[in-house]
Amino acid sequence: MRWQSTIGQVALGALLAAALSSQAARAVDPRYPDWPCAQAKVPEISIAAVWAGPPLDDAETKWKDDPKISALVTKLSARRFPIEDAQKEITSFLSAAAADKTNAGKLLFAGLFDTLNAQRASVMNGLERVMRKQRAAAEKIRDDTLALQALQDATPPDQAKVDALGNQLTWETRIFEDRRHVVKYVCEVPTTIDQRLFALSRAIQQELD
């Protein structure tokens, strides 16, 4: 049983290392070799892609000076806050702004754009950091797999060392797999942020029309 378990670890280690090498080779865009997602990496969303409202003028730098805008931006940009509730908050806030509605809308959009773009960049940078860790982990798994094979082939094999390295390899592959599952989930987050920014921008523009 112990022998079969060790062979399974060797096979799994080799498969994981090969899978990561293949994934890196199939990078969606060679400019971003550490990008682990199937979706193409778009480093930053442009204002023009999500805003067709009035010119922002100095709103891009002034929104942080307004405490109410800053507080609302923090609230609306939180992904845990339901998008439907966020849209209602926008309607209520801009309706209360009355004659200053246009300026308030520009400031609110500028704040949401800055904040959500920063969130998006943070998530994407984190994904690339994890990918680099995965590449290093794959190399370690590959090296430990070869070392385990050498220990098994020794005559006589040192069973204590075989067991110790086999356990280490099991732990390494488990961490590798856990990270892989997390990356698959987190790869959806930039798209979710894009969709949120577009929806909130549209809600603001509808109030300004």
Query: Distance between alpha carbon 186 and the CA centroid of its chain, in Å?
Result: 4
pLDDT tens string 114-124 = 999 999 999 99
Instruction: Give the helix ranges, DSSP H, for 26-100.
Output: 47-50, 59-62, 67-77, 83-97
User: What letter represents residue 203's amino acid?
Assistant: A
- Give the whole-angstrom CA distance, residue 199 versus residue 193: 10
Given this model, what pLDDT does residue 26 score?
53
Instruction: Give the helix ranges, DSSP H, for the chain.
Output: 2-25, 47-50, 59-62, 67-77, 83-97, 101-153, 159-186, 189-208
pTM of the model: 0.81
Cβ–Cβ under 8 Å, residues 34 and 128:
yes
**What is the span of the domain harbouring residue 32?**
2-208
Given this model, what pLDDT does residue 30 score?
83
- Give the whole-angstrom CA distance, residue 14 versus residue 185: 24
Given this model, what pLDDT does residue 22 score?
53
Give the tokens for residue 3: 């022998």
Query: Distance between alpha carbon 35 and the CA centroid of its chain, in Å?
Result: 10
Q: Which band of pLDDT confidence, cut at 50, 70 and 90, is reported for residue 87?
A: very high
pLDDT exceeds 80 at position 19: no
Give the tokens for residue 48: 């023009």
Number of domains in the chain: 1
- Give the whole-angstrom CA distance, residue 29 versus residue 1: 44
